[in-house]
């Protein structure tokens, strides 16, 4: 094949290869710390939801989301918490809630929405809820927010 | 309000452009291995000369205003310095190339003359920048390489006004400031906010935007005391090394790829959003002032159309005719392909509401002095060359408030 050489993994022959971890700033918190923090946040979110404070709950879960290596469990916990918020929000409230988030929180929310879309059937995920949030979020935060989901290596 | 000057140069992308000092000529490459010199005749740009020496795509061109020399960089790993000399046979002035020994093993991606025009920097895919200076003894341009600490392709460079410091944007998601001091060329530089002792390859700073992304464009402010860079996460970051502050502006649109300062507190950025946008600010905060483009009406055909401009109710590129076509098809089961639809969106109309119909590849100062640039020029993938009035952003910001002053 003429184009077969294009499939050779040339990085193997390079001693100075750029590693995945070098592409983002390392998480200053260790995996154990992240996990306990995420569990605390899940409790805080439950009490906020009980009071009907959806935007407050969303603010908590989108602050300092877990990222980096070896934090899979924390990521799953955080995602479960977020999905519970997304599912319990009335669709008429979404636009105002999305507007009240900071730009960083909007970016994190968009990351979570795309992660959710990438794993259909996971937990209580519902495609129509995700798309509803995605539409409202894009109207407020624009395509730039989606671009940042693609570039940011600090995946949620 | 002043309209931009729009020139349709070609149906092919313009990869880069550089004007001569008197702005009567422009060198550009139409996505090929040749560079063209165009001169202005009336309202048209006519090709007067073709610079054909490269084997592969030309990636960048710069025209030194004082010494009237052109430098071209190409994917064939070479750079040529072109000087105007009388042709031996005809006596007419013609551009003659001199090969530069870059010693890089990947494509050259970007080239810029230093402010004193005695050096130029060539960025490359070989994770290096070749800093070239003229060696009169051997009568050629020699390169010294800035290799550390690049981890990936260098996409753009910009010179500090002191002729020594160099900013570089790279695909390893970082913007850096390095010293390109060459003993034979430079006198000892004065201390700057970036550092005091500056031997060759001193790393003065490494900056990144939190959400990552290739750094497409870098630019020093007119004083050289601040650095701005545009990265692929749709952000512009302005770094002030004096106070350890950096300001990141998150855009709601597609990423910017190129930027230039118009004043110490203002810059124009452009890219995949197809319109140049003016930003203003200082150490404590930056904001988008507005687009230089009047995006309230389609450009070629008459009539008004739905869609709001920058800062209007809708954000990003969600107001393009193509988007509306699909939205109508989705929400109303209405297909406007083939027939004129409601809202005046034409049949199969994919025209954007901006002057440029595709990505802007390069924005450069056109008129004014550093620190007070009044006009900028842009070239785009749509084959257009456009000259914009920087003050148009303020006018359009007013227009969006419903004020019509013409």
Q: Is A130 left (phi over 0), alpha (psi -120 to 50) or beta?
A: alpha
- Quickly tell me which residue has 């895919």 as its tokens: B125
Interface test with A, best of B125, B128, B234 (most A CBs within 10 A): B234
B255–A147 CB contact, under 8 Å: yes
The burial class, CB within 10 Å (0-12 / 13-18 / 19+), for B354 is: buried
CA dist., res. B81 & res. B102, Å (int): 12
* C-beta of residue B254 within 8 angstroms of C-beta of residue B320: no
Q: What pLDDT is recorded for position B96? A: 94
User: Residue B154: which of B173, B128, B120 has the closest Cα?
Assistant: B128
Cis preceding-peptide flag for B287 (omega within 30 of 0) = no
**Tens digits of residue pLDDT in B2-36:** 789 999 999 999 999 999 999 999 999 999 999 99
Residue B342 confidence (pLDDT) above 80: no
CA dist., res. B403 & res. B406, Å (int): 10
Interface test with B, best of A151, A153, A155 (most B CBs within 10 A): A151
CA dist., res. B304 & res. B231, Å (int): 34
Q: Are strands B235-240 and B227-231 parallel, antiparallel or unpaired?
A: antiparallel
Contacts of A147 in chain B (CB under 8 A): 213, 232-234, 254-255
Tokens representing A3 are 């184009």
- Mean pLDDT within B38-47: 93
How far is residue B327 from each of residues B78, B144, B304, B321, B332, measured CA to CA in Å?
47, 54, 19, 10, 8
Of residues B25 and B139, more confidently modeled:
B25
Is residue A138 within 8 angstroms of chain B, CB to CB?
yes
B132 HSE (CA, 13 A, CB side): 29
Is residue A15 within 8 angstroms of chain B, CB to CB?
no
Domain ranges of chain A: 29-151
Please enumerate in sequence order all residues whose Cβ is within 8 A of that of B294, keeping only pairs 6 or more positions apart, or say none.
B1, B309, B392, B396, B399
Q: What pLDDT is recorded for position B319? A: 63
B234–A141 CB contact, under 8 Å: no
Please enumerate in sequence order all residues whose Cβ is within 8 A of that of A153, keeping only pairs 6 or more positions apart, or say none.
A20, A23, A24, B212
- Taking any CB pair shorter than 8 Å as contact, residues of chain B touching chain A are 151-152, 172-173, 208, 210-214, 231-235, 250-255, 314-318
B318–A138 CB contact, under 8 Å: yes
**Tens digits of residue pLDDT in B269-316:** 999 999 999 999 999 999 999 999 987 765 554 333 333 333 333 455
* C-beta of residue B62 within 8 angstroms of C-beta of residue B26: no
Residue B339 confidence (pLDDT) above 70: no
Nearest-CB residue to B151 (from A18, A145, A147): A18
A148–B254 CB contact, under 8 Å: no
Tokens representing B82 are 């072109």
User: Residue B221: which of B268, B155, B285 has the closest Cα?
Assistant: B268
Distance in Å, alpha carbon of A32 to nearest chain B alpha carbon = 23
Q: In terms of CATH, what superfamily is A29-151?
A: Actin-related protein 2/3 complex subunit 5 (1.25.40.190)
User: Residue B50: which of B41, B38, B61 has the closest Cα?
Assistant: B38
Chain B residue with minimal CA distance to A20?
Answer: B172
pLDDT class of B241 with cuts at 50, 70, 90: very high
Q: What pLDDT is recorded for position B343? A: 44
Contacts of B233 in chain A (CB under 8 A): 147-148, 151-152
A144–B254 CB contact, under 8 Å: yes
Backbone angles phi, psi at B264, to 5 degrees: -65, -20
B171 HSE (CA, 13 A, CB side): 12
A147–B234 CB contact, under 8 Å: yes
- Mean pLDDT within B154-169: 97
Q: What pLDDT is recorded for position B324? A: 76
Domain ranges of chain B: 5-295+359-400
ipTM over cut 0.85: yes
Computed over every residue of chain B, the mean pLDDT equals 87
The count of other CB atoms within 10 Å of the CB of residue A151 is 19
Please enumerate in sequence order all residues whose Cβ is within 8 A of that of B245, keeping only pairs 6 or more positions apart, or say none.
B239, B283
CA dist., res. B265 & res. B70, Å (int): 30
Cα dihedral B188→B193→B194→B195 (10° resolution): 50
Distance in Å, alpha carbon of B324 to nearest chain A alpha carbon = 14
Interface test with A, best of B174, B316, B326 (most A CBs within 10 A): B316
Residue B226 confidence (pLDDT) above 70: yes
CATH number of B5-295+359-400: 2.130.10.10
Q: What pLDDT is recorded for position B228? A: 97
* C-beta of residue B269 within 8 angstroms of C-beta of residue B277: yes
Nearest-CB residue to A143 (from B231, B232, B317): B317
pLDDT by residue, tens only, chain A of 156 residues: 678 888 888 888 877 777 777 888 888 888 999 999 999 999 999 999 999 889 899 999 999 999 988 899 999 999 999 999 999 999 999 999 999 999 999 999 999 999 999 998 888 888 999 999 999 999 999 999 999 999 999 998
For chain A, where are the alpha helices, taking DSSP H only? 31-50, 54-62, 72-87, 94-100, 103-118, 127-151
**Tens digits of residue pLDDT in B374-404:** 999 999 999 999 999 999 887 665 444 333 3
């Amino acid at each position: 094949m003429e184009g077969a050489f294009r499939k050779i993994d040339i990085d193997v022959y390079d001693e100075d290869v750029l590693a995945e971890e070098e592409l983002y700033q390392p998480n200053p918190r260790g995996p154990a710390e992240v996990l306990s923090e995420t569990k605390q946040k899940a409790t805080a979110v439950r009490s906020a939801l009980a009071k009907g404070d959806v935007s407050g709950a969303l603010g908590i879960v989108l602050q300092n989301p877990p990222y980096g290596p070896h934090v899979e469990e924390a990521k799953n916990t955080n995602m479960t918490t977020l999905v519970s918020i997304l599912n319990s929000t009335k669709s008429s409230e979404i636009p105002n809630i999305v507007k009240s988030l900071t730009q960083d929180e909007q970016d994190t929310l968009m990351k979570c929405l795309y992660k959710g879309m990438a794993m259909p059937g996971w937990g209580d995920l519902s495609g129509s809820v995700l798309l509803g949030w995605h539409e409202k979020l894009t109207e407020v935060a624009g395509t730039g927010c989606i671009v940042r989901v693609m570039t940011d290596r600090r995946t949620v | 309000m002043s309209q931009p000057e729009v020139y349709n140069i070609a149906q092919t992308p313009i990869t880069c452009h550089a004007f001569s000092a008197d702005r009567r000529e422009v060198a550009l490459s139409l996505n090929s291995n040749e560079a063209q010199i165009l001169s202005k005749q009336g309202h048209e740009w006519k090709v007067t000369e073709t610079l054909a020496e490269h084997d592969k795509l030309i990636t960048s061109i710069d025209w030194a205003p004082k010494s009237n020399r052109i430098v071209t960089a190409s994917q064939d790993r070479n750079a040529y310095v072109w000087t105007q000399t009388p042709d031996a046979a005809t006596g007419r002035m013609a551009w003659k190339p001199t090969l530069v020994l870059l010693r890089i093993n990947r494509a050259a991606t970007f080239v810029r003359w230093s402010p004193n025009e005695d050096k130029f920097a060539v960025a490359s895919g070989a994770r290096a920048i070749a800093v070239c200076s003229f060696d009169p003894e051997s009568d050629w341009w020699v390169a010294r390489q800035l290799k550390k600490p690049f981890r990936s392709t260098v996409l753009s460079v910009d010179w500090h006004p002191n002729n020594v410091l160099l900013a570089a944007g790279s695909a390893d998601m970082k913007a850096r400031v390095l010293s390109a001091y060459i003993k034979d060329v430079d006198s000892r530089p004065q201390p700057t906010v970036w550092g005091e002792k500056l031997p060759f390859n001193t790393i003065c700073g490494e900056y990144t935007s939190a959400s990552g992304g290739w750094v497409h464009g870098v630019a020093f402010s007119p004083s050289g005391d601040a650095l701005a860079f545009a990265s692929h996460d749709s952000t512009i970051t302005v770094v002030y090394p004096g106070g350890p502050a950096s300001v990141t502006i998150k855009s709601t649109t597609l990423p910017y790829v190129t930027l230039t300062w118009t004043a110490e507190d203002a810059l124009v950025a452009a890219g995949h959003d197809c319109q140049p946008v003016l930003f203003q600010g200082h150490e404590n905060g930056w904001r988008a002032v507005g687009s230089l483009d009047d995006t309230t009406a389609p450009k070629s055909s008459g009539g008004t159309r739905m869609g709001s401009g920058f800062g209007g109710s809708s954000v990003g590129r969600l107001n393009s005719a193509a988007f509306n076509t699909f939205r109508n098809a989705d929400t109303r089961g209405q297909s406007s392909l083939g027939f004129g639809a409601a809202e005046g969106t034409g049949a199969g109309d994919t025209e954007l509401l901006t002057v440029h119909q595709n990505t802007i590849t390069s924005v450069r100062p056109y008129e004014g002095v550093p620190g007070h640039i009044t006009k900028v020029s842009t070239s785009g993938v749509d084959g257009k060359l456009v000259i914009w009035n920087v003050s148009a952003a303020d006018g359009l910001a007013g227009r969006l408030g419903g004020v019509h002053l013409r």
